[in-house]
Amino acid sequence: MHCPKCAIPINDPFPQCPQCGFHIRDLDKELGSPPERNNLVCDLAKAMGEPGLKLLCERLQAFTDRTGYAFYAVTIQTTAPRLPSEYVFWLFNRWNVGGDPHLGILMLLAIQERRIEVEVGCDLERFISDDAAAAILQHHAVPFLKRGRIDDGLYYAADVLGRFVEELALKEPRSETSGISAKPRV
């Protein structure tokens, strides 16, 4: 993961950005405890319809089954007092998405801020960078979201992100020395 302020790599073992001084605990102080992770899709904003929620859950589960990596989606009314980019970074770390090696992706839709963000775990950045993942959201989610089609925007963004990572990840041979387990702790 990268510092949400200046994009320098940081994570729980190295929680402070050497460039700007941003520290993960700054977010803990403001945001408190993270929301409960009760499914692959946490529709905290109640923004999705039941069919869309089910379809997105199935797609994220298929991604996990195929790759062994975690993929979560969250909707939230607001990330205030923090920016959505800071909130998704914080939540990714607090939920420990993909276990200690951070083999996972977290997609966040902040309704009030009208922002969709993604956090890609460091170990998955060999397949897709945060910038490339953000570009996928821009092209495959934002057009639907602008028309109020939240279910479609989240599904198509997750589908394209998933297919992109699946194609590259499944081509890479796994070994006991790579540090990648068949199933991450999710």
Flag whether 42 is in a domain. yes
Flag whether 4 is in a domain. no
Read off the pLDDT band of 95 (50, 70, 90).
very high
Q: Is 74 helix (H, G, I), strand (E, B) or coil?
A: strand
What is the pLDDT, as a whole number, of residue 62? Answer: 97
Integer Cα distance of 186 and 178 in angstroms: 19
- CATH code for the domain in which residue 113 is found: 3.10.310.50
Cβ partners under 8 Å of residue 72, min gap 6? 37, 40, 41, 42, 60, 95, 97, 104, 105, 106, 107
Residue corresponding to tokens 């770390």: 93
Strands (DSSP E) along 77-143, which ranges?
A: 104-110, 115-120
Among candidates 171, 183, 163, which has minimal Cα distance to 63? 163
DSSP bridge pairs for 146: none
What is the tens place of the pLDDT at every residue in 43-83? 999 999 999 999 999 999 999 999 999 999 999 999 999 89
Q: What is the DSSP letter of 122?
A: G
Report the mean per-residue pLDDT for the chain.
Answer: 87
Range of the domain at 61: 37-173
What is the tens place of the pLDDT at every residue in 146-186? 999 999 999 999 999 999 999 998 887 654 334 433 333 33
Read off the pLDDT band of 12 (50, 70, 90).
low
What is the pLDDT, as a whole number, of residue 173? Answer: 63
Flag whether 178 is in a domain. no
pTM: 0.84
Q: State what percent of residues in the chain have pLDDT above 70.
A: 89
What is the pLDDT, as a whole number, of residue 14? Answer: 72
What is the domain count for the chain?
1
Flag whether 116 is in a domain. yes
